[in-house]
Amino acid sequence: MQGGVGTGGEAVESNMESHMEVAKPAIFNREVGKVGGFIMACRLFVRMKMRGDTVEEQVQWVLSYVQGGSADVWKENVMEELEAGEVEYESVEEFLTSLRKEFGGGEEESVKAAELRKLEQGGRMMEEFVQEFKRAARGSGYEERPLVEEFKRGMNGGIRRKLMEAENPLTSIEQWY
């Protein structure tokens, strides 16, 4: 919350939560490669719109977006455990971590790695390619030299050649960005 001064000089509290529009997450149905985006959308919404809510309310809100197939079975199990007092989350982050462990696994890393290997600059500006590459690289399992090689492979040839022929060769991924 931010404070301000009213027309009569009195202190006024403004509630940022009520004035900002924040997109709600898409329904999560355990589709491979979607858990990271779902968690990110939930985290953003909870931070922007649910700060004053209890952890239990935040967790139940996230669970309301988990629907379909085996995701429903998992949700029912979690809700029963919560109601029986068998599990208690200290924060919504702790809950989101358990959700990632349940649905992320190695499948998400494989999907991210495949996406990274297919990524090419094409007709995009370099800045756009860099941002897309950074997004795809997160959670792909690629680090250091292999990450640099994938980045170089995806760049347009002319730019890649100029950077490789530079007087001081680029070695880290940060330098390539």
Q: Which range, of 13-17, 30-34, 92-96, averages the lowest pLDDT?
A: 13-17
pLDDT one-digit tens code per residue, 111-133: 778 888 999 999 999 999 999 99
Listed in sequence order, the DSSP H helices in the chain are 16-19, 35-49, 55-63, 69-83, 92-103, 105-118, 126-137, 144-154, 157-164, 173-176
> Would you say 12 and 4 are in contact if contact means Cβ atoms under 8 Å apart?
yes
Neighbours of 114 (CB within 10 A): 13
Q: Could you give the domains of the chain?
A: 2-103 (no CATH), 108-176 (1.10.1200)
Residue 30 makes CB contacts below 8 A (sequence gap 6+) with 68, 69, 70, 71, 103
Query: pLDDT value at position 16?
Result: 47
Instruction: Look at residue 1 in the predicted model and tell me its pLDDT.
Output: 41
Contact in structure between 108 and 35 (CB atoms under 8 Å) = yes
For all residues of the chain together, what is the average pLDDT? 84
pLDDT of residue 133: 92
Token pair of 157 as six digits: 């040839």
Q: Tell me what pLDDT residue 5 has.
A: 42
Give the pLDDT of residue 18. Answer: 55
Determine the Cα–Cα distance for residues 100 and 94; give it in Å rounded to an integer.
10
Q: Is 41 helix (H, G, I), strand (E, B) or coil?
A: helix
Question: Are the C-beta atoms of 143 and 118 separated by less than 8 Å?
Answer: no
| Bridge partner list, 2 | 14
- Please report, rounded to a whole number, the percentage of residues in the chain having pLDDT higher than 90: 47
Question: Residue 11: pLDDT band by 50, 70, 90 thresholds?
Answer: very low
Q: How far apart are CA 89 and CA 122, in angstroms?
A: 45
pTM of the model: 0.57
Burial of 7 (0-12, 13-18, 19+ CB in 10 A): exposed
Among residues 42, 40, 53, 50, which one has the least CA distance to residue 17?
Answer: 50
Q: How far apart are CA 77 and CA 74, in angstroms?
A: 5
Q: What is the DSSP letter of 9?
A: S
| Residue range 125-149: mean pLDDT, rounded | 89
